[in-house]
A and B are shown apart, each in its own frame.
Chain A
Amino acid sequence: MGLVGENGSGKSTLMRILVGDLAADAGTVSSVGQVGYCPQQPVVYPRLNCDEHFELFGRAYGMTFTAERESRRTLYVALGFERYARTRTDQLSGGTLAKLNLALALLPDPEVLLLDEPYSGFDWDTYLRFWEIVADRRARGRSVLIISHFVTDEERFDRIVEVRDGRTHQR
């Protein structure tokens, strides 16, 4: 599902409410299964390296050591940043940091993925690989909600919801 709208329309706010990062003024949010959230700006610990982030988030997600290692390895390969495994995040380029930011959301293979413009800073190859990952998750019955600004992405979504005047509208 795609979530679109003008700048400042409230897409990111809506996503932060969905994930529980912000309190809603009204209404409730119910979720079933695990939720993976990729914020718009990378949110990481600046002096920990990529491996340490995967360990931390693997424990937070309740993953076993083996599952976390396997998923980590797969994500390194899929997003192409394995050589930065032991690099501190404050020394990563913007694109690599965005990859780590996304990979932390993908790590447990959650039932629901909430991705807030996850490909900002990606090069073209990584951008295409990102959509392959999304297609793979979709094929395995996962739900993916992506905030997007690109008109060209619209054909990739099953459904598109537009945020306008503080309300959501089906396109």
Chain B
Amino acid sequence: MTPFLLRRFLADYGRNGANLLFLVVVPVTFVLAAAPALSNAARLLGGAGGGPAIETVTAGWAAAFLSGIAMYFQVSGARRADARLVTAGMPARQLRAARLLTGVVLAGLASAAGLVALFARGDGENVWRVAVGTLLFALVYVGLGAAVGAFVPNAVNGSVLFMFIWILDVFFGPPSAELSRRSSAFFPRISCPCGPWTFRQGMPDCASSRGPRSGSWGRSFWRSSSWRAVAPAVTHVGPGVMDGSRSCLRGCGWAGATGSELRCCGSSWLLFQPSSSFWLTQSPHTGRRPSC
């Protein structure tokens, strides 16, 4: 069922020609045109990155933005149709998995476009490391897009909120601005202060004491506070909105139950944070439920 849904959701996304165009053109343009200016800005802000590292991370920023905004519109735009499908009997878990997989595919496309532009510029060092970092960056934003889409149905408000998060990340995140390790963990990119995409020659700070060792990307990825906050939201709130009848939010008396909603998310996070893959495998109806 999930592959069938995935094909349909990809078709629904791809039939809007502008979507595919933006998915390719924006990362390429961003990497080619904005990287030098951002690099200079980062130097002025005193960030950990600067120079070539910032130019490298632009591929991640562009892929992240496109992936996240695509996921946001997927979740918010299809909210009622998805709810109707679940009401008709579609298992919510399969629908959720298909939505997330669609986001992952789009993240792959956006990352590929950004990376091609990056390597076309001649930044061809540490290709695989940069590629994996860029993809992980995009995947974090897929989760963020899903969470914003679940909470904010209004397209304008959701887009503004999502862009606000992204701008904060770009201009005040560790590569661009000087931050402590603790505060940097709350930015929506991987918890390493610099991120694996800055692993390159000429970045001594990242490559020595503060950056992750090779092979620790997965751990760093999961340690990202923002990512761990997003996961329960995606598991319980996003599908809950889509699910409609048996969700945590409904159980708390949605709509308007903001306090209950926050309590749900808080308890969801506490319950599920030890497991790194629950949100892809755990059904909110069969797994441990937060008490609302």
A19 → chain B closest CB, angstroms = 6
Q: Does A67 contact B (CB under 8 A)?
A: no
B84→A39 contact, CB < 8 A: yes
- The answer to whether residues A20 and B245 also contact, given A39-B84, A47-B15 and a CB cut-off of 8 A, is yes
Main secondary structure of the interface of A (DSSP, over half): loop
Knowing A52-B8, A57-B85, the reply to whether A47 touches B16 (Cβ < 8 A) is: yes
> Within the complex, which residue of B15, B87, B88, B251 is in contact with A88, where a contact is CB–CB below 8 Å?
B15
- B128 interface residue (CB < 8 Å to A): no
- On chain B, the number of residues with a Cβ less than 8 Å from chain A's Cβ atoms is 27
CA of A46 to CA of B5, assembled, Å: 15
Dominant SS at the B interface? helix
Q: B284 within 8 Å of A by Cβ?
A: no
Does the CB pair A48–B8 fall under 8 Å?
yes
Can you name the residue of chain A whose Cβ is closest to the Cβ of B251?
Answer: A23
For the A-B complex, the count of residue pairs with Cβ-Cβ distances under 8 Å equals: 65
Contact A20 B244 (CB under 8 A): yes
Q: Which residues of B pack against A, CB within 8 Å? A: 1, 4-5, 8, 11-13, 15-16, 78, 80-81, 83-90, 244-246, 250-251, 253-254
30 contacting pairs across A/B (C-beta < 8 A)? A21-B244, A21-B245, A22-B244, A23-B245, A23-B250, A23-B251, A23-B253, A36-B88, A37-B88, A39-B80, A43-B80, A43-B81, A43-B83, A43-B84, A45-B12, A45-B81, A46-B12, A47-B11, A52-B8, A52-B11, A56-B8, A56-B90, A57-B85, A57-B88, A59-B4, A60-B86, A60-B88, A60-B90, A62-B89, A104-B84
